Amino acid sequence: MKVLVIGGGNMGLTYSEGMSKSPLLNRRKLMIQDLSPETQEKLRENPEFEVFDKLEDCLPSADIIFIAVKPYHCVELFEKMKSMVSDQQVFVSLMAGVTIDFIKDHLGVPKVVRTMPNLPAKVGLGVTSFTESEAVSRVELLMVRNLLDTTGESIHVETEKFIDKSTGISGSGPAYVFYFMNSMLEAAKKWAFQIMILKF
């Protein structure tokens, strides 16, 4: 099985590093595509990656394609991809807020899996919720799940409304809590420093 990750940023790299060790690849290198020469150079340091700059050199031959770009780049990306994809390929979105129907309509494909990854995936402790379009078979969904599990644990949900809910619980929502905690910590440091100055 050939797996391609489009986008070598933080999330794309995180899942690529995990999936590159999956036995599902059957000793093949994980394919990863990115437009940035700097990112490509960094990715090539990993011997388990086969790095591409052009979609046409990797997209047509892939069985499962993970899309790990910023959501605001997806329309432009889909326009480039559309002529190279097939109905047999499975597309897995790591993009926040982009619906299954949107991907199906803009790519013209039936098999789409939408996920909600989170930051602990970087250390193998992630929790990734996922759901799929009707055309995705049980076998294909199991393969996707096994790949997602390389970064922690995956949780299948029935509909996309649960994907949206998990965004606030385990996705970007906790970042606001950490930001608030960090702000309190910084304020406490500043307050303690001022007390020390006044004391002396």
- For the question of whether the overall pTM of this predicted structure is more than 0.75, the answer is yes
140 & 73 share domain: yes
Beta bridge partner(s), residue 3? 64
Q: Rounded to an integer, what distance in angstroms lies between the CA atom of residue 150 and that of residue 17?
A: 9
**Residue 16: CATH number of its domain:** 3.40.50.720
| CB 55 within 8 Å of CB 4 | no
161 & 195 share domain: no
85 & 69 share domain: yes
Of residues 123 and 63, which shows the higher confidence score? 63
Name, in order, each residue with C-beta under 8 angstroms of 56's C-beta and a sequence gap of 6 or more.
84
17 & 115 share domain: yes
Give residue 163's pLDDT band: very low, low, confident or very high (50, 70, 90). Answer: confident
Looking only at the bridges linking them, the beta strands covering 126-132 and 30-33 are unpaired
Name, in order, each residue with C-beta under 8 angstroms of 153's C-beta and a sequence gap of 6 or more.
126, 127, 128
160 & 182 share domain: no
Domain extent, residue 10, equals 3-169
128 & 189 share domain: no
Give residue 118's pLDDT band: very low, low, confident or very high (50, 70, 90). Answer: confident
122 & 197 share domain: no
- Whole-number percent of the chain with pLDDT over 90: 68
184 & 149 share domain: no
Q: What is the pLDDT at residue 12?
A: 94
Distance of CA 148 to the CA centre of its chain: 9
Closest CA to 39 of 73, 10, 74: 10
98 & 163 share domain: yes
16 & 114 share domain: yes
124 & 60 share domain: yes
Measured torsion, CA atoms of residues 40, 27, 122, 103, in degrees rounded to the nearest 10? 70
Q: Into how many domains does the chain fold?
A: 2
Beta bridge partner(s), residue 153? 127
DSSP element (H, E) containing 4: strand 3-6
16 & 74 share domain: yes
Q: Which two tokens stand for residue 97?
A: 């807020």
Q: Rounded to an integer, what distance in angstroms lies between the CA atom of residue 130 and that of residue 189?
A: 41
Beta bridge partner(s), residue 52? 33
